[in-house]
Amino acid sequence: MTHLLDTALSILETAVQDGDSGDPYNDFYGMYYAAEQALAKLKQLREAGGWRPIAEAPKDAGVEVLLYRNNEGWGAIEIGVWSERFQVWSTELHSDDAPTHYMLLPSPPTEDL
């Protein structure tokens, strides 16, 4: 995922640096093309997963997700599930700090290592 983000940022940085040729017509279409390429890379990044706002997290019964919270000034990452009964994310840490982001867990390995 980092590679996709780096590629998108590189495309935009190059377009901005090279964007002022003095010909507004060509500059506009050059920037449009660069933005179009970067947008495609960013969409790939979004579809590949990554950290998402906690408001978008699935709250289906038993669905475990990776949670990120700022636990007393320290970032903490842990696995949790939504507790419908208590209306909170349930984890082993039992922190008072609510998670701010989530990420879906990857699929388990399909073969023995």
pLDDT at site 20:
60
Q: Is residue 84 a part of any domain in this protein? A: yes
Instruction: Name which residue leads in pLDDT, 69 or 7.
Output: 69
Nearest to 89 by CA among 67, 56, 72: 67
User: 77 is written with which tokens?
Assistant: 């990452």
| Together in a domain, 57 and 27 | no
11 and 38 share one domain: yes
pLDDT tens, residue by residue, 11-58: 667 766 666 666 666 666 777 777 777 666 666 655 656 888 999 898
Roughly what angle, to the nearest 10 degrees, separates helices 24-47 and 2-18?
Answer: 170
Global confidence as pTM: 0.53
Across 106-113, average pLDDT = 76
- Six-digit token pair at 34? 């660069």
Our count of domains for the chain comes to 2
Range of the domain at 65: 52-104
Residue 59 shares a structural domain with residue 91: yes
In this structure, the dihedral spanned by the alpha carbons of residues 72, 74, 80 and 85, taken in order and rounded to 10 degrees, is: 10
Question: Judging by DSSP bridges, how do beta strands 88-90 and 74-83 pair with one another?
Answer: antiparallel
